[in-house]
Structure 1
Amino acid sequence: MKMDRKEPATLLALAIQSLLSNDSAAIHALGEIPRELFIPLFTAAFKGGHKKTLTEMVKTWPFFCLHIGNLSVQKPHGELLKAMVDGLQILPAKNCDSRRPKLRILDLRQDTDCRTTCPAISTKSPVCLYSCVNAKQSMLKIESINSIVTSESETQSSRKAMELLVDLFFDGTLKEREFISSIVNKIKQSLGFLHLCCRDLQIDTFYDCEDILSILDLVCIDNLAIEQASLSEVTTLLSRIVQLDSLSLTKIRFRSLNGDIFRNFLMHLGRMDHLKELNLSSFCLTNHLEKLLRVLPPDLDFLYLPFCEVSPRDFTFLSQCPQTSHLKVLNLSNNPMYWEDFEPFQTLLENLSGTLRHLEINNCLLTDSTMLVFLPALSHCSKLRLLSFASNPITMPTLMTIVQHLMSLMELKYVIYPIPVHCYEGCYSQRQVDRQKLGEVQTQLKMMLQLAGRDDMRCMTYAW
């Protein structure tokens, strides 16, 4: 009986693989196979890299929406995605009597919780759970215009408003430029009937992205990441964005934190009153963190400030401002904490004791004495799930003391600790690790966790 239950799926998989072995046969069959077979055929064609078949499947897709969902793409925007964009039919294909396309929403974003197509609520008014809220009005407007178009404009009235959902990653590579070029061409051909929705935008270079940025509706963007740009370029882009959930800026160039460019940046950043995550890396903020934090919303969840050269004055304000009073994630790595007054950081940990889940303070020049000062406040962070304090000059006795205290935090599952200084051969700064000594450290920590009944807690380190 068990074999009988498995047999239909096996036969279906074999039939699909046989069909896909011949692109011409697979494409020809699209006008004849039942619509229920489109989804398993699409999955197999995508996994098998059948570009021609995918293009034709988009043209004849019998459902309202098509999502790649949890199907993985090796590159951020591979050739498979380009093939699917090429298949978008703004106008119905000529001489296509066997099956008129119903596709209105093509979603090329990867989402592990998303099905290939959304369940139809009704045959008369299908919906998509992932459609763009900003496209609804434009689609309704286009359809209302089409409903009153005269028969003389049959070509115009036969157009259907469509959505293309895609995450864009400008990295300057040839394949990426080709993918973006295909999107630009498709939008221009649509004459306004295709809405491009980009919710995640990552720019590693502004080179060759002017065309698509000029036609991209930045109202849709939820998450923006920019690397190696000038602050004026960042500000110009922010001025066109209405709201953001997350903003990541890395290696941004600017001359002064006292000039108009920085003030304009803060003004536009202050409009993002739904911002939950801010990541500033290699963004020098010495004695200016207060200006930035004051414009942020009071319910910020994630704050990353690595390589930002924060000062004691910055830490003092960080510990007092309401914008950081509910943080879940805090990363202060690569900011040297070599000053004498550590009370602000203690206060910050105490204020976050009920919300902080993830703390990174790697390579901050933290010594035994400073870590022991932090330890009581750290031990009260009851929600903490990950603590990383790697690359700090800590001795073995202090490391054992820290782990001993942390074991009382039952939510803590991951501790990334520094290699104790006695494990280095010669000078600590030369980073030559004695593997035998490091192995002994790992064994001792493992025994500590086992004796305490904390097998659910993992202690690890970075080894060179």
Structure 2
Amino acid sequence: MDSQSPATLFALAVQSLLNSEPEVIHALQHIPRRLFVPFFKAAFMGGHKNIITRMVKIWPFTCLHMGTLNVQEPQHELLKAMVESLPVFPNQNSDFRSCELRVLDLRKDDGCKTVCSESNDKSVTCFHACAYSEHSILKRESRCNVVNSESEGQSSRQPMELLVDICLNGTLGEDEFLSFLLSKAKESLGFLHLCCRDLQIYKLCNCKSTLSCLDLQCVKELSFNQASLSEVTKILSQVVQLDKLSLSKITCKSLNGIICGNFTTQLRRMDHLKELNLSFCLTDHLENILSVLPSGLDFLSLNSCRLSHNDFKFLSQCPQVNHLKQLNLSNNRIFSEDCESLHTLLQKVSGTLQHLAIDYCLLTDATLPVLISSISHCSHLRLLRFGCNPITMPMLKRVMQHLTCLMELKYVVYSLPVHCYGIWDFLGRLDPQKFAEVKAEISMMLQVAQRNDMKWITYFEEI
């Protein structure tokens, strides 16, 4: 019997049990704790709603995380059933097997196990429990340890936490699910804390009433698409600690006025910010924003920010970006006078940079060599994007010769040479035969360089 047989036999046994739903529901009272997690995963992926409902009611661990489970449209009803089954009231669960569940995490997180490691501490042991909101179970327990003024009926109830990521994009499915979650939290009379970690807001003007129902102290990742800078600032003032901030299509009459000053005042509070994504006009104002941030940024995206020469110059001197792992400068025109500043910046981050994007920057044969020279020293680079720039085939070959020495670089999105397009229009009509010839030559050069582990694709192939 090979090493895979025990796992296969167990999986077959689980599937056989799941086909007998009434018997399984009755047997759940007697299943050992160590079998709950694999049994739950199989039941969830198989869409066994009644079994999942019962398992949540008698869950024998402090927490339950979706983690790596793939939640598609058919599983949305299962998520609702899980939330509905949360035993927030003592008389809701009359089973002799008590429920230990305190934290239900509906977020997708590939680095999160179904349950956290347990300790001997009687308090909440989930590593992902909310740490900032005044309504979190950790702070509620802390207050209860100081004074317990609740009635006897209330003291038998333990607070619970529901961790979610929310996207306010106006779609019917998202709106209905969020309404359901808010209703469940309201019915719990304060004993179920709805904790949103990743909040994405599309058209802020359309979802202000919904935002008023959310506890923004929990938010760790915040994204805005289509909002005014004053509205963004108001929301930021309610956030306690951010790891990631994304701002796209933000409007402001002037970046020199009081509104921008209030915005940077809020940014100054973001001591733990690691990722910043900006995609709106910042011409000659990049310094106002970056200079107030902490010096430990890992990811910076300035896509379509209309950066000026002064902005590039400041970027090369900015201490906040000295240890970047990812940098996106796409859709900003890079002139020859800007290349020296970028050369300096890339030299500073050569020991940490892993991802670099300079798509649609109108780089040419005259400007690209300066950048490629510095890029070739980024020893930890894994992904490089320089697609849709008007360069020639000789320059593309030169770029490849510089990059094949980077052993950690596995993915390159490159620019098709200008001769592959119509004579009058760069990025216009593509000649299929010339495209195929370039691909064949790239493939041959990779074989000669013995870099079959590298994948070179164009923007068109990626789409």
Both proteins in one fold, TM over 0.5: yes
Q: Report if aligned partners of 2:357, 2:386 keep a CA contact under 8 Å in 1.
A: yes
**Structure 1 counterpart of 2:288, from 283, 286, 291:** 291
In 2: Cα distance, 1:356 partner to 1:115 partner: 29
Which deviations, in whole Å up to 9, do the C-alpha atoms of 1:439-463 show, x marking residues without a partner? 2111212222221222222221122
In 1: Cα distance, 2:458 partner to 2:386 partner: 9
Q: Which residue of 2 aligns with 1:139?
A: 141
Is 1:378 the equivalent of 2:380? no
Residue identity in the other structure for 2:239: I
Residue identity in the other structure for 2:119: I
1:330-341 matched pairs, under 5 angstroms:
330-338=327-335, 340=337
Question: Aligned in 2, Cα 1:290/1:164: closer, same or farther, shift over 3 Å?
Answer: same
Residue identity in the other structure for 2:116: C
Q: Which residue of 2 aligns with 1:199?
A: 197
Deviation at 1:94, TM superposition (A): 5.0
Q: Which residue of 1 aligns with 2:406?
A: 409
1:228-243 matched pairs, under 5 angstroms:
228-243=226-241
In structure 2, the gaps of 5 or more residues are none
Deviation at 1:391, TM superposition (A): 0.4
Q: Report if aligned partners of 1:90, 1:193 keep a CA contact under 8 Å in 2.
A: yes
**Structure 1 counterpart of 2:83, from 82, 85, 107:** 85
Q: Report if aligned partners of 1:92, 1:101 keep a CA contact under 8 Å in 2.
A: no
**Structure 1 counterpart of 2:387, from 385, 390, 412:** 390
**Structure 1 counterpart of 2:299, from 287, 292, 302:** 302
Q: Report if aligned partners of 2:381, 2:408 keep a CA contact under 8 Å in 1.
A: yes
In 1: Cα distance, 2:195 partner to 2:88 partner: 16
Aligned pair count?
456
Is 1:434 the equivalent of 2:431? yes
Question: Aligned in 2, Cα 1:75/1:315: closer, same or farther, shift over 3 Å?
Answer: farther
Bigger shift: 131-140 or 242-251?
A: 131-140
In 2: Cα distance, 1:387 partner to 1:214 partner: 41
Q: Which residue of 2 aligns with 1:424?
A: 421
Q: Which residue of 1 aligns with 2:363?
A: 366
Question: Aligned in 2, Cα 1:326/1:10: closer, same or farther, shift over 3 Å?
Answer: closer
In 2: Cα distance, 1:380 partner to 1:123 partner: 49
SS in structure 2 at match of 1:183: helix
Deviation at 1:341, TM superposition (A): 5.2
**Structure 1 counterpart of 2:54, from 27, 33, 56:** 56
Q: Which residue of 1 aligns with 2:180?
A: 182
Q: Which residue of 1 aligns with 2:266?
A: 268
Residue identity in the other structure for 1:384: L
Deviation at 1:389, TM superposition (A): 0.8
Is 1:349 the equivalent of 2:351? no
Bigger shift: 94-103 or 42-51?
A: 94-103
In 2: Cα distance, 1:76 partner to 1:279 partner: 32
Residue identity in the other structure for 2:218: C
Residue identity in the other structure for 2:375: L
Is 1:444 the equivalent of 2:441? yes
Q: Report if aligned partners of 1:184, 1:212 keep a CA contact under 8 Å in 2.
A: no
Residue identity in the other structure for 1:19: S
Which deviations, in whole Å up to 9, do the C-alpha atoms of 1:143-178 show, x marking residues without a partner? 7766x65xxx44312211111111112121122112
Deviation at 1:254, TM superposition (A): 2.0
Q: Report if aligned partners of 1:203, 1:227 keep a CA contact under 8 Å in 2.
A: yes
SS in structure 2 at match of 1:448: helix
Q: TM-score, normalised by structure 2?
A: 0.90
In 2: Cα distance, 1:8 partner to 1:456 partner: 37
In structure 1, the gaps of 5 or more residues are none
1:143-162 matched pairs, under 5 angstroms:
149=150, 153-162=151-160
SS in structure 2 at match of 1:93: helix
SS in structure 2 at match of 1:131: coil
Q: TM-score, normalised by structure 1?
A: 0.90
Q: Report if aligned partners of 2:58, 2:95 keep a CA contact under 8 Å in 1.
A: no
1:202-281 matched pairs, under 5 angstroms:
202-206=200-204, 209-210=207-208, 213-281=211-279
